[in-house]
Amino acid sequence: MTQELIFYPSIAMFALTAGVLVRMGIMRYRAVAAGEVDPRYYRLYTGAEEPPELRKLGRHVQNHFEVPPLFHLVVLMLYVTGQVNLLSLVLAWLFVALRALHSAIHLGRNVVPRRFASFIASGTVLAGLWLSFAVGLLQR
């Protein structure tokens, strides 16, 4: 199996993160241009609050820098140790799919139980990816 295949889910996860970052930038620009947010707010993120949709999007972007870095790290470690296999690829793609679902739920209707279920599912898949990596390392 080509070890480099593990980078495609990582690239997809980056694209998802980049997409929400661009969306946030556009929405913030529009909010400032429309006078909904004082541009001085963004100096220290204090003062008047952002509109709820912008606050939700900002929190969502922040979330992309909490759990997904652990995904990118295990992807790199799988590659470096030559442990990329069908299981790791399936788990990696499943993680990305579940994170995309989480984004769709959070930035859509934001039904908290569904969002939480997708978050827990993606965390469980990530734990499985790490477990697979650890077991492979111990078997050497």
Please write the tens of the pLDDT for every residue from 98-126: 999 999 999 999 999 999 999 999 999 99
Q: What CA–CA distance (Å, rounded) separates 111 from 94? A: 21
CB neighbours of residue 126 within 10 Å: 21
Q: What CA–CA distance (Å, rounded) separates 102 from 90? A: 18
Tens digit of pLDDT for each residue in 69-100? 999 999 999 999 999 999 999 999 999 999 99
pLDDT at position 140: 86
Which residue, 9, 140, 139, 1, is CA-closest to 74?
9
pLDDT at position 1: 84
Q: What CA–CA distance (Å, rounded) separates 39 from 44? A: 10
